[in-house]
Amino acid sequence: MLDPPPVKQGSTREGGYSLVWALFSSVVLVTVMVFMVVQLFDPSKAAVAYAERVDFAHLAAEVSDNLPWILILVSMMMAGVFAALHLGLRPLRRISERAGEIGPATVSQRLPLESTPREIAPLVVAFNAALDRLEAGLRAQRDFSANAAHELRTPLATLRAQVESVLEPSERQDAIEEFDRLSRLIAQLLTLAEADGGDAPVMVSFDLVETAREVARDMAGALVAGGRTVGFDSVPDHWECRGAPGLVEVALRNLLENAARHTPLGSEILVAIDVFGRLTVSDTGPGIPTDFRTRLFQRFSKADPRGAGAGLGLSIVSRIMALHGGEARLDPSPAGARFVLDFSQRGYGGRNARP
């Protein structure tokens, strides 16, 4: 399932015509019509011929004589128009704000109909019906991915055991690597289905520093066994964050696994957190090709089409950060690659920060 395009937060002046100017034109037109009716049918002017009443010079003189009253009338009508628009469009503004808050994680929400003006109620009903169809489609795709991944796990494990039992030790390593790749792909599909499920993850307060330290410690053995070194450094001793720690662990693991796969033996991988809650994963490998950086976080996108992996890891990282209101990005680095998970908008700040 493709990521939804970002919502552009544009100016309120974007769009079609303005109701204010349309109603202003109507007020001017009504004023002109009333003025002409008065000129033509005013009993006090019965002695004046109709031809003289519609004469341009006569009309100009009448306008000049009554200009203050005309301006007062127009001003009062426009004031009434502005007041009516302000009061009448207030529910529409609230509905627009509510609609702007609906995204993939909150697609189950609906626009309120009870406080909607009768004139725009059909639009709200149609919008809610569109959300119903969208939610059904999202849930169907999520359920398909989750069910397919679950159904593949058991036969894959059975097949792996059977293949390992019949292969010679010299041939077994290649098969194990392929099974590991398939298992990782299934796990990524399950994570992606969970992230795209349309249900907002449970947000709790947790220590970002401790979570990152635990992930780095858990993966240190495998990384060192694979010929890489891993380090951890944090400016604050604690950094309180609000989010889903399980998903944050998945994002960090994906970055560490990605660094291990794309850096040569002997490379160093460093996990660090600064005082603003920015978690970075840096390595000393060859870095990211320039022409690949624009599609780095797209799904099924790989710098090397023949390389290992399905191209889902970084897209999962990006999706998890979007659910947290944060950002996953690639920052410039003098050597290797430097990925940043920016939690600065989701935390309460660090404690016991070193100077």
What's the pLDDT at 300? 66
What's the pLDDT at 340? 93
| CB environment 32-64: b (16+ within 10 A), e (fewer) | eeebeeebeeeeebeeeeeeebeeeeeeeebee
What's the longest Cα–Cα distance across the chain?
A: 120
CA distance 219 to 51: 97
What's the pLDDT at 265? 86
The reply to whether the predicted model has a pTM over 0.85 is no
What's the pLDDT at 192? 64
What's the pLDDT at 281? 94
Query: What is the mean pLDDT, run by run of 10 residues, along the chain of 355 residues?
Result: 42 58 78 77 68 73 79 82 77 83 76 80 89 83 71 76 77 74 71 61 87 92 87 91 87 88 86 92 84 76 59 81 86 87 73 49
What's the pLDDT at 37? 77
Counting other chains too, the contacts that 66-75 makes at CB distance below 8 Å and 24 or more residues apart are: 66/35, 70/31, 70/35, 73/31, 74/27, 74/28, 74/31
What's the pLDDT at 350? 53
